[in-house]
Amino acid sequence: MNRRRALAALAGLPLIAGWRWPFGNEQHRRSSLIVAGSGRMLGYNREIEVMFEKAHPDIDMVCEGGGSYPGLLALKRGLIDIAAISHELTRQEDDPRLHIHLVAKDAVAIIVNPKNPIQSLGRDDLRDILEGRQANWGMFGGGDAEIDLIDRRGGDPTDRAEAVDAVIGHHEPFKNVETYVGSDAEMIAAVADNPDALGYCGWEDLTPDVRPLMIGGVALSRETMLSGSYPFAWPYYYVTLGEPGPAASRFLAFARTDAVQSAFAKDGLLRVY
């Protein structure tokens, strides 16, 4: 398991429920900061928390998970200072009072064997394959061969959860799976060894042994991840309600520093500063 997956695998804890103020007594007030929300971001947030408190010893910080939407609710109710969000806000979630700060991006690559002639699949085509409605490469301009769909089972489930969320939006099992693997390395090896295979991996795990498909004609790249044109990429946001307070402002500035952005990159995320 690489470092990014180990961090992302941290489960979100119940958000705010039964919250008890964790800091010192009234006689010794210090600046405080509460960041909560996305379970995907929890490991990264706690890593930054350690760095931030070393750089700002006058601020007591707490990071929790609980989910992006509960984090937004807690933010709007004034229970936390910053919500950590790992998706684009929906119309129902958005609010003119929210200030949204992009701090990193991530993506899933849909991979095939380099010998596969298919260069691009539409998003609906890919969903049809994963949900079992199409099972032959010939339907998409390839040879008359069954698609050998490779899925994850066991090991760290993060890549699978991200692929499912990004591509088909629910957690039902893929249909017509030919092979199961337990890691990114096994996924890449299986696709590299099979001209008819279709699999997926984190964008940072790509090797020359496999080829990422374009999706709807859009290639996976830093530029398409940043622009949002690659459809299976997602943002990591810090969100405040209105202008951030002093402690939150210092944290948001810290998240843009080279030290933090380099830590994101080391963990397999795409730095945005």
Does the pLDDT of residue 26 top 50, yes or no?
no
Q: Are residues 196 and 242 in the same domain?
A: no
Overall size of the chain counted in residues: 273
Mean pLDDT of the chain: 88
Question: What pLDDT shows up at residue 89?
Answer: 93
**pLDDT, position 230:** 96
Query: Rounded to an integer, what distance in angstroms lies between the CA atom of residue 33 and that of residue 161?
Result: 30
Q: Work out whether strand 233-241 and strand 211-212 pair parallel, antiparallel, or are unpaired.
A: unpaired
- Nearest CA among 73, 66, 78 for reference residue 89: 73
Q: What is the pLDDT of residues 98-109, one digit of tens each?
A: 999 999 999 999
pTM of the predicted model as reported, rounded to 2 decimal places? 0.83
Shared domain check, 21 and 128: no
114 and 183 fall within a common domain:
yes
113 and 219 housed in the same domain: yes
pLDDT value at residue 29: 59
Asked if 206 and 177 sit in the same domain, the reply is yes
Domain match, 262 and 208 both: no
Domain that holds residue 152: 107-227
Tally of domains within the chain = 2
Same domain, 202 and 245: no
**Residues 213-232: tens digit of each pLDDT:** 999 999 999 999 999 999 99
Please tell me the predicted confidence (pLDDT) of residue 176: 87
- Answer whether 38's CB lies under 8 Å from 236's CB: yes
Residues 149 and 205 in one domain: yes
Are 66 and 119 found together in one domain?
A: no
Phi, psi of 159 (to 5 degrees): -60, -40
Would you state the pLDDT for residue 17?
Answer: 46
| Average pLDDT for 248-256 | 98
Whether the per-residue pLDDT at 135 is higher than 50: the answer is yes
Q: Which of 47, 5, 1 is nearest to 162 (CA)?
A: 5
- At 157 the pLDDT is 66
Distance CA 162, CA 247 (A): 32
Q: CATH number, domain at 23? A: 3.40.190.10
